[in-house]
Amino acid sequence: MVKDNDTKANGSGSGERPVGRGNPPKETQWKEGQSGNPRGRPRGVRNVATEVLRMLRTQTDVPNGDRVRSTTTQEAAYIVLREKALAGDARALDRLLDEAARYNNEPSATKKGPLPEEDRAILDAFIAEVLAAAGVSGGSKKNLPRSMSTPR
């Protein structure tokens, strides 16, 4: 059974074609070269992330003892947070310690030592495979590049 709107004429006089879901009437379709957003995004409009970064990089004056120091808004906010924490504000102290834990995680000096036996076996198998593919006979590592002859 055919629905009523499936055989409506498109109004252009060129005959009938089906009109319905996925087939809009010809007069309501976009014209050739016509944009769906004719005015578009206005020039110079920034998104929120750009605005926040711009605002945090803006220079501001911060009192430093008997002088005034110019610094970024971001650094000034951390200075205020530090001063509040030092004055005894528990919430500011918690926030400052959270920030310190997040950004003060410098990697510690890792202890360099011999590779575990399992890793050594994997590397030896790889080296043997590369040597076999290169046509080097035996298990000699003398002709290997320095990067492939790993010390034990």
pTM of the model: 0.44
Does residue 127 sit in helix, strand or coil? helix
What is the model's pLDDT at position 136?
Answer: 75
pLDDT bucket at 43, cuts 50 / 70 / 90: confident
The single-letter DSSP state of residue 26 is G
Q: Which two tokens stand for residue 92?
A: 């500011």
CA 109/CA 102 separation, integer angstroms: 19
The single-letter DSSP state of residue 112 is P
Model pLDDT for residues 54-65, shown as the tens digit of each residue: 999 999 998 888
Residue with tokens 């006979």: 137
Q: How far is CA 68 from the centre of its chain?
A: 37
